[in-house]
Amino acid sequence: MRVFVTGASGFVGSAVVRDLIEAGHQVLGLARSDAAAESLQAMGAKVHRGDLTDLAGLQAGAGSCDGIVHCGFIHDFARFKEVCEIDRRAVTALGETLRGTERPLIVTSGTALVSGQVPATGALATEALVTPTGETALPRVASEEAAASVAAMGVRVSVMRLPPSVHGAGDHGFVPLLINLAREKGVAAYIGDGANRWPAVHRLDAARAYRLVLESGAQMPHYHANAEEGVPFRDIATVIGKRLGVPVVSQSGDEAAAHFGWFAHFAALDNPTSSALTRAKLGWQPQHPGLLADLDQPHYFEG
């Protein structure tokens, strides 16, 4: 297959590109900078210059390929609602390009969006859950809303929900943020008893899941790319504290708000998640280290 990949030079997208190429596929990667273009060429991919706001450019790239993996997202939390709407328009544009074809589209979202939808205490969020929509919904639901509208056009589309921690060398997401907070504040903190759980996956395992969904023709509406159902947040803080040589402490209320700032919502997130349907449908078996084993390595603390 010839596959158009957005976010192709990013932490997850670059792993997807490599996995696709190693499996014998051709990749056309979206690049908005010279550095991104050079990185893609070094991996053996072709380059399509543009960004997520260039809808005509996205459609041109998508129209020349047999399938699309949309990993791109503008990670700017200062204007989060705006960038979520940018993603909505990008997904819609990509989907419109595939109308009337059988070519698959994979859209990226997050398991955190269904954390409040589990039917009973102690249950796991499954692929069957649908994200809440409407005025009270989180802005990030825009991507899944766009995927649903694209599916209504008859497009073959699947949503890949990633866990809060997609980890591995080169990670610049939530775990490095926690490490930086611990360095700055002098403590590695968790909220309350720290028993809230984060699902997690190694970036290379996540990349494999994307490829398998693409090759299978995007048969399910939602897939979950989590290797671990839920790692207690307290355990994440404990590894960070050990590695940095700082105390590991429980915080709550104003103290936690002062420590975590805007990230407090995520630090308190309890998101136990199943990927059983994804594994059964795809034959996906994660093979790389879990979050705590990976976090307890020098690459997370160098520099």
Res. 303 pLDDT band, cuts 50 70 90: low
The average pLDDT across 81-98 equals: 97
For the residues of 160-184, what is the DSSP string, one character each? EEEPSEEESTT--SHHHHHHHHHHH
Please choose, from the candidates 238, 111, 122, the residue with its C-alpha nearest in 3D space to the C-alpha of residue 182. 238
Residues 6+ positions from 302 with CB-CB distance below 8 Å: none
The CA distance from 137 to 146, in Å, is 14
Beta-carbon count within 10 A of 49 CB: 14
- Confirm if 84 and 143 have CB atoms less than 8 A apart: yes
- Confirm if 45 and 80 have CB atoms less than 8 A apart: no
Res. 40 pLDDT band, cuts 50 70 90: very high
Res. 186 pLDDT band, cuts 50 70 90: very high
DSSP code for 4: E
The average pLDDT across 198-202 equals: 98
Q: Is the pLDDT of residue 136 over 70?
A: no
Residues forming CATH 3.90.25 domain(s) in the chain: 167-199+230-272+289-300
How much of the chain exceeds pLDDT 70, in percent?
Answer: 99
* pLDDT tens digits, 49-63: 999 999 999 999 999
Q: Is the pLDDT of residue 114 over 80?
A: yes
The average pLDDT across 27-44 equals: 97
Q: Is 96 exposed, middle or buried (0-12, 13-18, 19+ CB in 10 A)?
A: middle
More confident residue, 77 or 257: 257
- For the domain covering 167-199+230-272+289-300, report its CATH number: 3.90.25
- For the domain covering 2-164+201-228, report its CATH number: 3.40.50.720
What rounded mean pLDDT belongs to the chain?
96
